Chain A
Amino acid sequence: MGKQMNVRAIENGTVIDHIPADCLFKIINILDLEHETHQILFGTNLESKRMGTKAIIKITDRYCADDEINRISIVAPMICVNTIKNFQVVEKRQVEVPTQVEGFVKCGNPRCITNHEKIKTRFLVQRDDVGDLKLRCVYCEKSTSQHEMVIIK
């Protein structure tokens, strides 16, 4: 018998693992889990050898589309997405950071037009000098860094 799981196993669905603990609620927003009707299990501030603390989300009977996963990668590029069938991992998906993101992140510049008119936000994904992701707004041309990102519901 292996180590007991902090968050119990699910029979079918999706497990999103290796989420940095402080990104959990952003990911809940991105996936709009607030309005999800399937059973969801969360754990956060769990011990992780690799990350210190981590969070995990298990969603029963829901399978994530590629673009949903790629959206998550904007706030948490290191996550791991597993598809579960009959308690077994049948697919492990690598997240791919997209080159552009639309509509779900707020521009961090309060003087940007997207914060004044009803406009879908649009960003180019870039990396700063230490390799962290940042989003360059197509409109105001200012960058929003990863830790400043606010998710639009």
Chain B
Amino acid sequence: MKKNLVSINDFSKEEILHILELAEEFEKDPNQRILLGRVVASLFFEPSTRTRLSFESAINRLGGRVIGFSDTANTSVSKGESFHDTIRTISNYSDLIVMRHSVEGAARYASEISPVPVVNAGDGANQHPSQTLLDLYSIRKTQGTLDGIHIMMVGDLKYGRTVHSLLEALSHFKTRFTFVAPKELEMPAEYKQHLDVRKIAYTETDRLDQYINDVDIVYMTRVQRERFLDLMEYEKVKNAYILKNAILAATKDNMRILHPLPRVNEIDTDVDTNPKAYYFNQTENGVYVRMAIISYLLGVKK
């Protein structure tokens, strides 16, 4: 049966671990031309630089060919073609579809229409599962394991899709969570309920420095101005969630800083040269993880 990756919940714990192992294999030997003769459609209904190039790099490294578009201006979508018809057509031209769309649920709908596998490269504020898998890969690579690590999630925990998916994925692995956010952007009740049901411990604070010396991973996200109804509140908190070298002095040796990028100012550039900064290595890991996802879904790697 055709397998898709639309939501991180589409993969079991075993499948997640399998993808991470495949990615490790690709990291050791990145030029395996196992997609020779295959065509992958890369459909970016909404522009993205990093994610699109990372997927296309992964496909090229595997020896596959890419067709597609990086915005909809020159496509039949701008003539008013329905999303349904676009997907129906392009699924006839390709062996797999990678797609990003601003409308939530677009990838799930595409996976129902398309006879070929669909990989969701982001659907609005909903899911971005390849990001979650590369976050997991980065955590495992830097910590040697996913079991029992202590992760601190910082910033916009209310709207940030990456933190929500990562939380769901990590809840397979006895993770300890610390949430650092201003009151307006704290972790929504439904995700805390998800942890409660699984008897997973978490701590909440609005101070960045309170637990930072205890954690293995600091996962930073951006606090966006437009999320605040009251701009006075934003002014009050905006500088409280900026990571600087000064507060990293007593952190654990194995601690690493992750960020889904793009960064604006939430990590000071003075941190970039700190050996604990891992966010640029994280992007490299993304290519291996996407190679693993595509070859797994196409059945060219068991």
Which of chain B's residues have a CB closer than 8 A to the CB of A117?
82-84, 109
Map CB proximity to A onto B184-197 as digits: 1 under 8 Å, 0 otherwise. 00000110010000
Report the Cα distance A119→B104, complex, angstroms. Answer: 13
How many residues on A have C-beta within 8 angstroms of the other chain's C-beta atoms? Answer: 18
Residues of A within 8 A of B193 (CB): 129
Report chain B residues within 8 Å CB of A137: 105
Secondary structure of the A contact surface, majority rule:
loop
Chain B residues near A40: list those with CB within 8 A: none
Contacts of A112 in B (CB 8 A): 103-105
Q: Chain A residues near B104 (CB, 8 Å)? A: 109, 111-113, 139-142
Cα–Cα distance between A128 and B194 once the two chains are bound (Å) = 11
Determine if A143 is an interface residue (Cβ-Cβ < 8 Å).
Answer: yes
Assembled-state Cα–Cα distance A129/B106 (Å): 29
Q: Is the CB of A111 within 8 A of B125?
A: yes
Return the chain B residue nearest A114 by Cβ: B105
Given contacts A113-B103, A117-B83, whether A141 and B127 have CB atoms under 8 Å apart is yes
Say how far A148's CB is from chain B's closest CB, in angstroms. 14
In contact, A139 and B125 (Cβ under 8 angstroms) = no
Is there a chain B Cβ closer than 8 Å to A138's Cβ?
yes
Interface string of B116-131 (1 = CB under 8 A from A): 0000000111110000
CB distance from B7 to the nearest CB of A (A): 6
The interface residues of chain B lying within 8 Å CB-to-CB of A116 are 83, 103
Q: Does B108 contact A (CB under 8 A)?
A: yes
Contact B108 A138 (CB under 8 A): yes
Evaluate whether A141 and B189 lie within 8 angstroms (CB atoms) in the complex, with A111-B125, A117-B82, A117-B84 already known: no
Does A139 lie within 8 Å of B108, measured CB to CB?
yes
Complex CA–CA separation, A129 to B191 (angstroms): 11
Q: How far is the CA of A128 from the CA of B196 in the complex (A)?
A: 13
A114: B residues at CB distance < 8 A:
105
In angstroms, Cα B123 to Cα A138, docked, is: 13
Interface residues of A in 54-75 (CB under 8 A from B): none
Nearest-CB residue, chain B, relative to A110: B104
Q: Known: A111-B125, A117-B82. Is A141-B190 also a contact (CB below 8 A)?
A: no
Nearest-Cβ distance from residue A118 to partner chain B, whole angstroms: 8
Interface residues in A95-136 by Cβ distance below 8 A to B read 109, 111-114, 116-119, 128-129
Bound together, the chains give a CA A137 to CA B103 distance in angstroms of: 14
**Is A140 a contact of B189 with CB atoms below 8 Å?**
no
> In the assembled complex, which residues on chain B have CB atoms less than 8 Å from the CB atom of A143?
190
Question: A19 to chain B: closest CB distance in Å?
Answer: 29
Residues of B within 8 A of A (CB): 7, 82-84, 102-106, 108-109, 123-127, 189-190, 193
A-B contact pairs, 15 of them (CB 8 A): A109-B104, A111-B104, A111-B124, A111-B125, A112-B103, A113-B103, A113-B106, A118-B82, A119-B109, A129-B189, A129-B193, A139-B109, A140-B124, A141-B7, A143-B190
6 nearest A-B pairs in the assembled complex, by CB-CB distance: A139-B105, A140-B104, A140-B105, A113-B105, A139-B108, A111-B104
